[in-house]
Structure 1
Amino acid sequence: MTEQMTTTTSAATTCDPAVRVTKSLLAYGVIAGPLYVAVSLIEVFTRAGFDPTRHAWSMLSNGDRGWVHITNFLVSGLMTIAFAVGLRRVLGTGAGARWAPRLIGGYGVSLIAAGLLRADPGLGFPVGTPDGPGTISWHGYGHFAAGAIGFSCLIAACFVLARRFAAEGAAGWAWSSRVVGVVFGASFLGLTAGAGASWSLLAFTGAVLLVSGWQAAVAVNRYRRASH
């Protein structure tokens, strides 16, 4: 009798429409970061004239195939916002319940803004562009501003979620979130200070891979807890 009641309760939880919606929203968080990275890497190795030691990924928004990277920004941003909504639903109350989703959502909005406001061409990319930094247009400034705001939101989210994990007794998750926040923040500062130096571009690329993996891992963690 007890076993039957347990099975019935489990089935009811699994079929709960609210739980299904929450899990669907969280699933976008699993996809968003890896999708952006995968599409960008394909472009890095297939776009003529692109050099990852000289050109930031954002510059892929230029040229005949620029629409691919713009779409990548927009889709990833929308998925990240959906993840933020799911995160708000699953966190409920307690540490970070309000600010973590807001910060993740802010990062998602920044991705959309970065897609709509293209980084300027330069340094010989796309092919035919004069070699050199070139001039910065209004949308180029807008792109940089969107990136600065979005990355700041993402760094802050790492520490807010670290506090949440600590409150839940998940020390490993808490420390790893802090490490990701520190590494990503340092790489962003290095990119700003490096003025396009190869080391700063490569370090920031590695940090993007790291934080994208972290976001996906957090989404998986909350997805598994969505029915509890």
Structure 2
Amino acid sequence: MGREGFDAGAAVTRSLLGWGVVAGPFYLVFGLVLALTRTGFDLARHPLSALLLGPGGWLQAVNLILTGIMVAAAAVGFGRAPWGRVGRTAGVLLGGYALCLVLSAVFPPDPVNGFPPGAAPQASTSGILHLAFGAVGFLALAASALVVAAALPGAAFSRVAGVVVVLGFVGGAALSPGGAGIALLWIAVVVGWVWLAVASVQAYRVVPHPELHRRAAA
């Protein structure tokens, strides 16, 4: 039971949207720490997903799963935000992205560009599924950006972010495992996380303040 003069539903929605701001920095910092401490890993030659391989790979799996849970929380927040169908559609798409993050952790990629050290190149079912979930996840994230553009004040940024995420992933996959491909993947990842943080803040701002007297004053 909420106390009198307090909208518990609005407070929950705001809290859920806050995870959309936290998810990207958490994933990137966690991943970079692992990348800088894993023997044989080169940020210029290997995607962060390769950290799922070899000793210590479970740590990157934890990173992806926890990040996926955060994105799922933000997805619920988007669905609850007063954006009507736009918010609900974006919430479903972000939920799909969250699920793909978790499934990418369950199915690790194949060895790439000499990582992990000593691993022979191969093409496995797990590797194919990892790529598939990555593709679906990036498409879902890009689609959510394009959908939210209908409600965001900065619609141009949201549209550009959606296009950059798609082109960055497609270009990165096409040019992999070269340095240019890794750079494009990084662009897609960083732009996607920046967009989610910005959109989460925008959605947070349109949710009424949970304190009713402050809401009335506003």
What TM-score comes out, normalization by structure 2 length?
Answer: 0.89
Mapping of 1:25-104 within 5 angstroms? Answer: 25-94=16-85, 96-104=86-94
Q: Which portions of structure 1, spanning 4 or more consecutive aligned residues, are displaced by more than 6 angstroms? A: none
Matches within 5 A, 1:118-157: 118-130=108-120, 134-157=121-144
**Aligned residue in 2 for 1:163:** 150
Is 1:218 the counterpart of 2:208? The answer is no
Alpha carbons 1:25, 1:82 under 8 Å: kept: yes
Query: 2 CA distance for matches of 1:207 and 1:151?
Result: 8
1:113 has 2:103 as partner: yes
Does the 8 Å CA contact 1:34/1:216 hold for their aligned counterparts?
no
The offset of 1:183, in angstroms, is 1.3
Select between 201-210 and 120-129 the one with higher mean Cα deviation: 120-129
**Aligned residue in 1 for 2:11:** 20
Q: What is the rounded CA distance, in whole Å, between the counterparts of 1:67 and 1:41 in structure 2?
A: 15
Distance, in Å, in 2 between the alignment partners of 1:77 and 1:20 is 22
Does the 8 A contact of 2:80 with 2:88 survive in 1? no
Q: Larger Cα Rg: Structure 1 or Structure 2? A: 1
Q: CA deviation at 1:65?
A: 1.0
CA distance in 2, matches of 1:121, 1:218: 35
**1: distance between equivalents of 2:126 and 2:82?**
36
Quote the Cα distance in structure 2 between the aligned partners of 1:123 and 1:208. Answer: 20
Amino acid of the structure 2 residue aligned with 1:163: A
Residue matched to 2:171 = 190
Q: 2: distance between equivalents of 1:53 and 1:29?
A: 27
Q: TM-score under structure 1 normalisation? A: 0.85
Which stretch shifts more, 43-52 or 78-87?
43-52
Corresponding residue of 1:200: 181
Percentage of pairs with the same residue: 37
Where does the alignment leave 5 or more consecutive residues of structure 2 unmatched? 210-218
- How far, CA to CA, are the matches of 2:82 and 2:100 in structure 1? 23
Segments of structure 1 that go 5 or more residues without pairing to the other structure are 1-10
State whether residues 52 and 202 of structure 1, in contact with CA within 8 Å, keep that contact through their aligned partners in structure 2: no
CA distance in 1, matches of 2:76, 2:44: 36
Structure 1 residue 210: deviation in Å? 1.7
**116-125 or 74-83, which moves further after superposition?**
116-125
Q: CA deviation at 1:92?
A: 4.5
- Output one character per residue of 1:156-213: Cα deviation in whole Å (capped at 9) or x when no partner: 1111011222xxxx2xx10000111111111111112213121111122122112111
SS of 1:164 mapped into structure 2: coil
Aligned CA distance change for structure 1 residues 158 and 92 (closer, same or farther; 3 Å):
closer
